[in-house]
């Protein structure tokens, strides 16, 4: 069981030994409600709540009793949610078309896997050699953006933009294929 010393909390006694479970049970509803009010998304609020408690517990040593523990936790919650919402704006997630999801449902189905491979083969014919090379380095060799940046002698944002453009091009090719 993980324990941490905490003094001067709202209702936790000075110098008491506090467990993660104690803090979680005491504050989970308040943190979840705050996350939900900011995200308007039940699943995101649940995920953020878990992340916030892990973050708060690992940072518990930095709590300096300058405010109540609940105020400190509220600030962490508010800032974390703001950061996540800003990240979502910068890196929006798009729902995949149903056709793509259908192809991804059963990797073990030989016909679907074959169709995916044929599509990838066709797409690579439509891409330039540098585009194919960039994709292979990123997705087959699992190079990081930083590694790609160093290899291509470009800024990380330029590498990200090139990857985005190639992915957009592939998405366009997928949409414009016969039967698509």
Domains identified in the chain and CATH numbers: 3-90 (1.10.1740.10), 98-175 (1.10.10.10)
- Asked if the model's pLDDT at residue 171 lies above 50, the reply is yes
pLDDT digits (tens, 9 = 90+) for 12-25: 443 345 677 888 89
pLDDT digits (tens, 9 = 90+) for 122-168: 777 888 888 888 888 887 788 898 998 898 898 989 989 998 888 88
- Please choose, from the candidates 48, 53, 45, 42, the residue with its C-alpha nearest in 3D space to the C-alpha of residue 20: 53
Give the Cα separation of 8 and 11 in Å (integer): 8
pTM here is 0.47
Mean per-residue pLDDT, 83-103: 72
- Asked if the model's pLDDT at residue 82 lies above 70, the reply is yes
């Amino acid at each position: 069981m993980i324990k941490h010393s905490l003094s001067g909390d709202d209702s936790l006694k000075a110098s008491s030994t506090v467990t993660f479970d104690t803090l979680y049970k005491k504050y989970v509803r308040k943190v979840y409600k705050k996350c939900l009010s900011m995200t308007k998304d039940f699943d995101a609020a649940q995920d953020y709540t878990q992340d916030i408690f892990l973050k708060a517990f690992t940072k518990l040593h930095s709590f300096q009793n300058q405010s109540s523990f609940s105020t400190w936790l509220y600030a962490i919650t508010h800032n974390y949610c703001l950061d996540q919402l800003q990240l979502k704006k910068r890196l929006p997630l798009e729902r995949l078309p149903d056709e793509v999801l259908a192809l991804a449902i059963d990797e073990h189905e030989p016909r679907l896997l074959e169709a995916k491979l044929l599509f990838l083969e066709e797409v690579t014919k439509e891409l330039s050699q540098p585009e194919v090379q960039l994709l292979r380095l990123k997705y087959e060799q699992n190079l990081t953006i930083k590694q790609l940046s160093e290899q291509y002698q470009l800024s990380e944002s330029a590498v990200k933009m090139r990857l985005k453009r190639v992915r957009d091009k592939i998405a366009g090719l997928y949409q414009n294929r016969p039967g698509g």
